[in-house]
Structure 1
Amino acid sequence: MDHNKSNDNNNDSRNVAFYVREANPIDLMNPGISRINVDYWTETYNAGFYLHYFLTWPDLFLVAVDPNKEIIGYIMGKVEGEGTNWHSHITALSVDLFHRKCGIASDLMKRFEEVSNKRKAYFCDLYVRVSNQVAVEMYKKMGYVIYRRVLEYYSGDPSEDAFDMRKPLLCDVDRKSVLPAPKDPIHPDEVPE
């Protein structure tokens, strides 16, 4: 099912037409996804990694497409855990540099959360660089909270900490998934697989 959208965001006067749909095998080869992965904030993965997500969680691998059928954004993730720890995880979210601040990331996340609710996830989580304050603020506006800090999560010189951010979903009526973490901060080897 496609979601059509024409967004006029108060932060940006551009009116951008796009629609969100599940990714397909051709999208994995499309230069759109690799073209989007050009900035510092976006983690990149090998083709096998993207293919694994596509084959295992196809309903959680979504693309935003413009009227010319060019990919201008994508989100991919998975579901994991057990019991009240059954949750969806956003592994990657990126929007083309020329289409940011137009509501595309928000729409991708909303659609991802809809699918997560259908999968009976208790919460949705993601990791974001501590220094990426634009993304942190966007996630907060969408109802995500900083659950804990993961020390030196992003490798590099220097390495960088991540915020583990969470949003309770429909199954978590008591919002237990966003209660204070039992340990904060943690090291990457303490992050559950």
Structure 2
Amino acid sequence: MSLLRPLRAHDLFTYNNVNLDTWTETYQLRFYLSYLVQWPDLQFIQTAPVSCLLEGSSEDSSAANGNRTRGVPTSFFAGLGNGAAPDAPRPTESSSYIPRMSAAAAASSHGESDAVSAQLLPPQNPRVMGYVIGKAEGKNKELHGHVTAITVAPEYRRLGLAQGLMRLLEDVSSQVYDAYFVDLFVRPSNMLAVKMYEGLGYSVFRKVIEYYHGGGANGEDEDGFDMRKAMARDTKRQTVRTNGRNYSVDPSNVYFEPVLRSNIS
């Protein structure tokens, strides 16, 4: 199973497979660290399962001699068809794959005596499937959670990962910060993302003129959609509107004072 957990500083060295995507914004390291310091409860990451291989006995010689692919047992690829792992050798009966466990338990599970020396190979770094980073900002009825970045690796899309990440951030924004709404910015040209957010209950609240640097027609700056979703505190849904695409504002109107958890009464 994949693991959905809080984002940590060392995760910033493992997300290249996600951030190389065209639509994903990449910031300086200090930017991410500032979010981890100020809003650690609004940063989440989802990683793929990791595994270990057992080696150390003659019966596991094929695994020790390279019968593995990036820490994944070759038996995993059997029957997946062409393209699953074209360079992986065919699995053999002596190939050994077990979950992460102690060497003694591994030897016992193979029916070997305690005298047999077994060694677990160190697991590969967990492969990042996706992550979300956010913050809390605004005063009074403008108090809200903000999705600064959410992205899913291309190979893990259309699995509902973004919905799960967004739901976590929304829950923390509503229950911890008592926010009226959650908002985000998206390029209008990224129609797939706009449609996805609409499916999650977000709607365009306003259009921010030339919010994005570049990306527009003839290389000009591109406008941005400010999309919002009302939280439970906004019982009258005063923080959202149905015709937001007709409202345009200057970028200076979309900046708010940060809200830290320590300042919440």
TM range (shorter): 0.7 to 0.9
CA distance in 1, matches of 2:138, 2:162: 25
1:18 equivalent to 2:75? Answer: no
3-state SS of paired residue (2:206)? strand
User: Which is greater in Rg?
Assistant: 2
Q: Deviations over 1:72-98 (max 9, x none)?
A: 100001001111111000000011111
Aligned match of 2:174: 117
3-state SS of paired residue (2:195)? helix
CA distance in 1, matches of 2:255, 2:128: 32
CA distance in 1, matches of 2:212, 2:39: 24
Aligned AA (2:34): H
Aligned match of 1:129: 187
Aligned AA (2:37): L
1:104 equivalent to 2:141? Answer: no
Equivalences, count: 174
CA distance in 1, matches of 2:139, 2:231: 15
Unaligned stretches of 5+ in structure 2?
51-125, 257-265
Aligned partners of 2:17 and 2:128 also within 8 Å: no
Deviation, structure 1 residue 151 = 1.4
3-state SS of paired residue (1:94)? strand
CA distance in 2, matches of 1:167, 1:46: 28
Aligned match of 1:11: none
Match of 2:233 among 149, 152, 171: 171
Match of 1:74 among 122, 131, 134: 131
% of aligned pairs identical? 41
CA distance in 2, matches of 1:40, 1:158: 18
Aligned match of 1:12: none
Aligned match of 2:260: none
3-state SS of paired residue (2:249)? coil
Deviation, structure 1 residue 128 = 0.3
Aligned AA (2:148): T
Aligned match of 1:49: 31
Aligned AA (2:183): D
3-state SS of paired residue (2:239)? helix
TM-score, structure 1 as length reference: 0.85
TM-score, structure 2 as length reference: 0.63
CA distance in 2, matches of 1:129, 1:173: 29
Equivalent residues in 2 for 1:153-192, closer than 5 Å: 153-156=211-214, 157-179=219-241, 184-192=247-255
Aligned AA (1:94): T
Q: Deviations over 1:38-68 (max 9, x none)?
A: 1221111000000000111011010011112
Deviation, structure 1 residue 192 = 2.4
RMSD: 1.5
3-state SS of paired residue (2:25)? coil
1:31 equivalent to 2:14? Answer: yes
Aligned match of 2:263: none
Deviation, structure 1 residue 161 = 1.2
3-state SS of paired residue (1:92)? strand
